Homo-oligomer: A and B are copies of this chain.
Amino acid sequence: MAQHIEKCDVVVIGAGPVGLLTSVCLSRWGYKVKHVDNRPVPTATGRADGIQPRTLEILHNLKLKRPVMAYNPARVFEVAFWDPAPGGKIVRTGTYPSCPSFLDARYPYTALLHQGLIERVMIADLAKTGTPLERPATITRFETNHADPAYPVEVDLKNLDSNVTTTYRTKYLFSGEGGKSFVREQLKVQVRHKDPISYVWGVMDGVVRTNFPDIKMKCTIHSDHGSIMVIPRENNMVRLYIQIASSTDPDFDPRQTATVQEVQHAAQKIFQPYTCDWDRVEWYSVYPIGQGLADKYTLDNRVFMGGDVCHTHSPKAGQGMNTAFHDAINFAWKVHHVESGFAQRSILETYETERRAVADTLLEFDNKYAALFSKTQSAAGDEKAAAQANKDFVELFKANCEFTSGFGVAYAGNIFNYTESSLSSLPQNLRSLILSHDKHEHKLRPGRVMPNSNVTRVVDANKVHLENEIPFNGSFRLFVYGGSTSSPQPGQHKLLSALSDNLLKTGSFYRRFMHKNHEQLDTHHDSDNPHSPFFSVAVTICATRPEIEIEDLPELFQAYRDRVYADDALNTPVPNARFGSHAKVGLTRNDAGDQAEGAVVVVRPDGHLGIAVKLTEGPDTVEVLEAYFSQFLQQGEWGGESGSSRFSQPQQGDMELGAHAASLKNTYIIA
């Protein structure tokens, strides 16, 4: 029985990637997080290891990339394909970039290091914000729709050292427990298998002595003796994945296993004519993998799940941890917007719709990938079929580079992501200002990340990455492009003046969420939120840095003096464009790139594009933005004041609780 009741904003179960990143985000934004994990210490070694190019950008935006890279992960730029050769040998049939240049990634490689090191980086971050991580401790009971409307979830957490159970009342419960989830089981949420086929995989990390030439590259090796995937690791280690059994095998047993020696022997046979000896094995595991997807990520928008709780799949495409990170940031900013009185509670529903659709796509890819990987293996007897299967496998790999690099995460149209059917009540003249379209060729695609670009920061002349200048601070980002008709001379910023005037007008969506006493805000150490915790503005001007005087800019932009940029830097994919940053987002109108539209690009806190609207001299641009934001913002004036606590709004949102939570009243107690 519970012995003591404490209150908090969010209870997080599990200190793997998804739980830790959820905690990191919410703790930074001032929420009281109770975080437990049933393991006494972080992951010592092994497990997830691949950080994809887009995830590196996310970590950079969170200011976590530098400490991760300090562990010197291996970096994979290319994948080598090896296939059977006569005499039971193998031969390299080709190589391909793991993140080809057409994806234009800032970091066109996968970084590889073991999950425990990444956990440690996030645990260190939690320590900075004062959120303790209790371990070993586990969840033993939870109950939603409790009498206290402000804290409708009650959770019992049992410390596994002391055996003491403490009861928490919380606004949210987030489960990042991994594949075996108490919360998911209690909620009776089903995990569906996209494909009835499941596999048993062996995975081994260690130091290998070999004359195999591609041991420092990612390799898929198909041989007459079986298949292996090679992944280079930190500290001159390597990881080998070997498929041990498939449910298509006649004698399949999901509990089938193999010893270290058996796996090493199998690897030696596959590697012929190359040698493969092990100095030491750092980690070894054999585990069955089924491709599963949870039916629901939440039942009541109070108890949420993410990461492996919701989706499991083969490890071969290196997507698990990356998907978990996306789950975490998607959940975190939406809860933040609801709890701080900015957005309507209903936005929480988009966590499931957005993230479940991505997991569904991932499983579909993984399904095909795993099947082809196995097929090439079993086709060893039939040379022609094997060659075709190998070709199919390589083609599938190439076709899915965008997805596996993380740039294929595309959220479908909804309240956040503009689509042709959105904002249908807007008159046509306003709709025609919308620049963002879902077309593949278009550069401003809602639901996807915006193209990166280099610019010069005016205030200190630093060359910077524009897309990364506003950190993951929970704010919507308004990237303003001045266009080439605005001159940097005083009074000549007609488009920027119109935007400034209309955003600062009484009653505008921007003005309503400004701190009431924002003039007293101290922005010396925080240049991203001079007006409001919910908006950050960056403006890029078609001029060279010395031509721009911040004092001459319209009022709004003077408040963001550290976020004023000159579009005068070199952008390698468009080296000849005079205004390269405008060109990269598709705003230039001629080949020389010296005539460019003005625009405001609305980017969600997680970096995905919401809508892009052309700048006009009148109020039209802001009217379109008004319609966009009215889809999900709270009505009326926000009551926040700078000072005491960062988001000191009396919680209107909580008033809605009854209606939302009344639909569900359950208590879940451990058997």
Contact = CB atoms under 8 A, between A and B. Distances in A.
Interface of A: 66-67, 69-70, 74-78, 95, 97, 109, 207, 209, 213, 216-217, 232, 236, 279, 459-463, 524-525, 545-546, 549-551, 562, 570, 572, 575
Contacts of A546: 95
Copies of this chain in its oligomeric complex: 2
A524 B207 contact: yes
Contacts of A74: 460
A356 B69 CA distance: 39
Given A70-B66, A549-B213, A551-B213, A460 B75 contact: yes
B459 A524 contact: no
A524 B206 CA distance: 13
A208 to B, nearest CB: 9
Nearest to A70: B66
A584 to B, nearest CB: 17
A568 to B, nearest CB: 12
B463 A77 contact: yes
Nearest to A527: B236
Contact of A236 (B279, B461, B462, B524): B524
A463 B461 CA distance: 27
Contact of A461 (B66, B95, B562): B95
Given A66-B69, A213-B549, 14 more contacts: A66-B66, A67-B70, A70-B70, A75-B460, A76-B461, A77-B461, A95-B461, A207-B524, A209-B524, A216-B459, A217-B461, A236-B525, A572-B572, A575-B575
A587 to B, nearest CB: 24
Contact of A460 (B207, B216, B575): B216
A79 to B, nearest CB: 9
A465 B499 CA distance: 44
Contacts of A77: 460-463
Given A213-B549, A570-B572, A109 B462 contact: yes
A275 to B, nearest CB: 13
A562 B95 CA distance: 18
Contacts of A463: 77
A213 to B, nearest CB: 6
Contacts of A545: 78
Given A70-B70, A572-B570, A572-B572, A78 B213 contact: no
5 contacts: A77-B461, A78-B461, A95-B461, A213-B549, A236-B524
A12 to B, nearest CB: 27
A240 to B, nearest CB: 16
A71 to B, nearest CB: 11
A217 B458 CA distance: 10
Nearest to A546: B95
Contacts of A69: 66
Nearest to A551: B213
A500 to B, nearest CB: 19
Contacts of A525: 236
B549 A75 contact: no
Contacts of A236: 524-525
Nearest to A463: B77
Contacts of A550: 213
Given A570-B572, A572-B570, A575-B575, A460 B232 contact: yes
A69 B66 CA distance: 9
Residue of A67, A69, A77, A95 with most chain B CB atoms under a 10 A cut-off? A77
Nearest to A524: B236
Nearest to A456: B77
A5 to B, nearest CB: 41
A211 to B, nearest CB: 8
A633 B460 CA distance: 49
Given A66-B70, A95-B546, A525-B236, A217 B460 contact: yes
Contacts of A97: 461
Contacts of A232: 460
Contacts of A459: 213, 216-217
A75 B462 contact: yes
> 10 shortest A-B CB distances, which residue pairs?
A216-B460, A78-B461, A77-B461, A216-B459, A95-B546, A75-B462, A236-B525, A77-B462, A217-B460, A236-B524
A232 B562 CA distance: 14
A460 B111 CA distance: 12
Contacts of A76: 460-461
A70 B124 CA distance: 14
Residue of A69, A217, A462 with most chain B CB atoms under a 10 A cut-off? A462
Contacts of A217: 459-461
Contacts of A551: 213
Nearest to A77: B461
A575 B570 CA distance: 13
A530 to B, nearest CB: 14
Contacts of A75: 460, 462
Contacts of A562: 216
A76 B66 CA distance: 20
A121 to B, nearest CB: 12
A578 to B, nearest CB: 17
A213 B549 CA distance: 8
A131 B562 CA distance: 43
Nearest to A95: B546
A216 B545 CA distance: 14
